Structures are given as C-alpha cells and as structure tokens.
C-alpha cells in the first residue's frame, strides 16, 4: 500500500481569523464518540450555530471544497486528534495557513492531511481570490512547495521531515503495517518474548 501525497488539488474554503482553537473546530461534547465517523457534520458546530448559516462551512459555494485556507496559530488549544479528524471527515485534504499549533500539525500529518505555511500577505491574497471566485481550482504542490490558483503562485513551506513523509507515503503507519503484514509475522515468530510458551 502506497500512501504518497504529492499534490492536492480542489476548490478552496477561506476561514479568516487567528487563534482558532481545537475546541472551536470540534466542541468537547463530540469527543465521546467511539469512532471518528460523523465528526465531519459537527465541525465548527458552535461557530456555525452563532453564524446563522453564514459560516464558510455552511455556505453553498464552499461545499465540497478540499483546501482550507486559514490564518495564524490555527489548531491551538487542547491536543485533541478529533479536530483534524473532523476537518478530514468534512472533506478537507490540505490546509494552508500562516502558522499552526505544533500538536495539531502532528495530528494532521498522522492522518495524511498536509499543513503548509505561507506569508500573511499571500494567505490574504489566496483567501480573497477564493472569496471572489469560489469555483477556482487551488493546487497544493508538496514537491515544489507552492500553491497555485488562477494565475496566483505563492511559496509555502513545511518541515523537511513531514514533507518527506508525505512524498514517500511513510506518514501512513497503519498502511505500512498492513502492506508489510507477512514480514511482521515472520519477525514475530523469531521474537523470544512472543514464543515464551515454547521455551
């Protein structure tokens, strides 16, 4: 199983505002779930209720968008992995922003959602472009570290370790285990602490 992520392409959804924390992304009352299924419908539940249908995640022009464009310190607050899971279940496949909370970033990498950093003025340009033309395609290129859309091309960055994990598909720990199941079984038969009954 190869889980390489080199390019993410699709429509964008702008979400302006700094310091959007994980409790806003997915309120604590939804953390009691046994699986992450269904969390997508509850993403930004309280913010959406307060916005009376005018939150970007409720607006018809952004339904089906796959690239989230955010501002500074996105995903701050508690370390709940439910936050990136909720975004992913809604349909987000990549996030471009000014900066991200470190644990949120790591939780995104663990589920295959790349987070890329761009300069504030570039984020502003990209958010404005998407607002003015919600149908525009946004292409996030992890190999060349760029985001392109309708003539706009902005440089982005991410740490080299995360970049290589996406490009090589090694972010997907479960996928690696499944694809190497036979090797794991062979190795397990040689481990003395797994065969203690036969000792």
Please indicate, yes or no, if residue 92 is contained in any of the structural domains: yes
Q: At 45, which CATH number?
A: 3.20.19.10
Number of domains observed in the structure of the chain? 1
* Per-residue pLDDT at 1: 46
The pLDDT of residue 149 is 96
Q: Does some domain include residue 199?
A: no
In the structure encoding, which two tokens stand for residue 185, read together?
A: 């079984």
Tell if the pTM clears 0.75, that is, is over it. Answer: yes
Do 86 and 40 meet the contact criterion of CB atoms below 8 Å apart?
Answer: yes
Note the pLDDT tens digit of each residue in 86-109: 999 999 999 999 999 999 999 999
Asked if residue 1 is part of any domain, the answer here is: no
Q: Which domain holds residue 169?
A: 7-194
Is there a domain that residue 103 lies in? yes
Asked if residue 2 belongs to a domain, the reply is no
63 falls within a domain: yes
pLDDT along the chain (199 residues), means of 10: 84 97 90 74 94 96 98 93 94 98 94 96 98 97 96 96 90 60 71 61
């Amino acid at each position: 199983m190869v889980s390489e992520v080199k390019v993410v392409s699709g429509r964008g959804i702008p979400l302006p505002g700094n310091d959007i924390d994980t409790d806003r992304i997915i309120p604590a009352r939804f953390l009691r779930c046994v699986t992450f299924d269904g969390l997508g419908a509850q993403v930004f539940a309280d913010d959406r209720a307060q916005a009376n249908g005018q939150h970007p995640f409720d607006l018809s022009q952004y339904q089906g968008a796959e690239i989230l464009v955010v501002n500074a310190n996105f995903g701050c607050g508690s370390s709940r992995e439910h936050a990136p899971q909720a975004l992913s279940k809604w349909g987000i496949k990549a996030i471009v922003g000014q900066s991200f909370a470190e644990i949120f970033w790591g939780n995104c990498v663990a589920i295959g959602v790349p987070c890329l950093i761009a300069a504030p003025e570039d984020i502003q340009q990209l958010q404005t472009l998407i607002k003015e033309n919600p149908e525009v395609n946004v292409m996030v290129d992890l190999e060349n570290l760029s985001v392109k859309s309708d003539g706009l091309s902005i440089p982005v960055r991410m740490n080299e370790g995360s970049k290589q994990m996406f490009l090589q598909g090694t972010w997907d720990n479960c996928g690696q285990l499944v694809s190497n199941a036979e090797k794991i079984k062979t190795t397990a038969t040689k481990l003395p602490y797994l065969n203690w009954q036969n000792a």
